[in-house]
Structure 1
Amino acid sequence: MSDKEIGFNENKVISSLKAHGVKNEELASRVSSMRDLQKSQYLRIQKSRNEFFQRNIIQKTSKTTTTAKSAVVVDISQTERQALIALYNSTTGSNWYKQSGWSNLTNNNIKVTDLYGVTIENGKVIKIQLYDNNLSGPLPSEIGSFPYLQELHLTSNNLTGTLPTQIGQLKNLEILYLTQNNLSGELPAEIGQLTNIKYISCGNNQFTGTLPVEISQLQNLEYFDIYNNSITGNIPPQIGLLSKLKGLDLSSNQLEGTIPTQILSLPNLEGLILSLNKLNGTLTGLNQLKKLVRLDLSSNEFTGTIPSELSQLTNLYELDLLGNHLTGSIPLELCSLAKLVDLNLGANELTGSIPLKLDN
């Protein structure tokens, strides 16, 4: 599985690690760890996505089986046709690696039924999957003109400019993949209008500004990442309202302040990745995240001791607190974490010996 496929940019990660003071001799292991995290999250999201669409396909097939013989090919609307043309032109479609069918769009006498990277059902565009296809240029405002779109997957291209505010018009969108492009500017507040969205992946871009509080309106959101950008300010406490959230990756940005207490109450959170920021404060309250599997707070400015209460996170597989200002000794209670495989406490100000069970 290539870095492009999972949306991992090694050069950007190395630059970010160096900017946060990671030593050269530590770079290889840190890059490897972050790549593994990204791959794990990608596979998890892909599995959930495939299961969702498989269920949809089975349901629709069972409903249409009796009418298959008399099925009539339905053309897409003129609005969607023009939106596809705008996407093709804006992103230099003539240079795409794969573009079968797209040249027919301007001919209204040819029904749109077979376009590379586009899934059409009953005359409606429901998926646009043009990842790693050499799209170059800005997304057009017409991107919001697909009322039935469920998935927009544009990872690993060279998209530039800002994310159009019209993105908020995609009321049926459930999956938004924009990882590894060159998108810039702030995330628009209109992203909060995607009330059916489950997955948002915006990592490895050039987004700036603060995270919009409107994210709190996405009550179906399960995974959100915007790692390796230039996001500033504090983590919005309103994220704590996302009760279905399972994965949150805000790593490699310029976030400041403490971890909002509201986030510590998320009942389904499995992955909390906040490494390579400027976050501070203590680690109090993390034991409330009972479903947590991955906790990465490395390369920040956290202080205080490592709470013994972390031993209550019985599902924890990875704990990375590297490169903070933590003091005191390593709690013996961490030895009870039976599922813990990856533990990194280096580059802190810890004292005392390493508990025997953790040193194996």
Structure 2
Amino acid sequence: MTTATATANSDRPTIGEFFLRAPAVGPALALVVAVLVFSFSTDTFLNLDNISLVVQQSLVIGTLALGQTLIILTAGIDLANAASMVLATLIMAKLLAGGVTGIFALLLGIVATVLVSGVVGTLVTKVKLPPFIVTLGALTMLTAAGRLFAGGEAVPVADGLLNWLGTRRYLFGGIEITYGMTLALVMYLVMWYALTRTAWGKHVYAVGNAPESARLSGIKVNRTVLSVYLVAGVIFGIAAWQALGRVPNADPNAYQLGNLDSITAVVLGGTSLFGGRGSVLGTMMGALIVAVLRSGLTQLGVDALYQDVATGALVIAAVAVDRFARRQR
């Protein structure tokens, strides 16, 4: 072997290094494989109506996962995101029932999720409490608050604006899409740009990768982390809007596993639970993987409990791949 050949081989990235540089590639390949498997094993999976339904079913969790991605990139976690979103839907519904206009109810619902995330972010950055403990406590309180606020009953929502994201249109005359799909795509593109093309995004990755090094390089770590929680709070409020577009009822018992489903989507999307590595595009793939898996297994007649087993196994495998990739680095 010549010296030039040896040098070329040494510059060639290993498998672990490749996935570290392009974390969205693995989830994209997994999504393609899942679609192909269910396309050959069922007769209805590739039906346009079914594909549209799969995407719609991933919307709310996918939006929660978008905010969750930002937090996990800073080596944090949010167990209260779904509970915060559900409380926001209840606030919107109750205000609407009380005679408040739809736009005002929507804004106050989003303000509520931002306030919750702001309190959590303050406790994490100023008091230095672990994100897991803070959001676990917030989950318990928000769940109880939602049920007390609604009296344990679902509140119907009939408002043009609050239900607007569920409005259906047909692309090319046959593909059903909703305004919620379009909004979700725009949000993912905006956050992709913010994380990859702005100084703020570089700071988020730096803080998640090595907070002390980031501080020594002049990055305001606490301010960056708090800003992440606030942005995530806005996203959770929009998720509440999407939830009301999907189902025009504010139910205090809805999305009880939404926090875990959002974490599942983030992990399957290639974002490291240890912070500093991942992408929102990978998270989009992760949310679609979960939806595709549940839809395909349902059409195959697999019991929902076994579907949960399969999803859990995928999460463990994704974390194992992440550990392997980090060791390779």
TM range (shorter): under 0.3
TM-score by length of 1: 0.22
Bigger RCO (CA 8 Å, 6+ sep):
2
More strand by share: 1
More helix by share: 2
Greater Rg by CA:
1
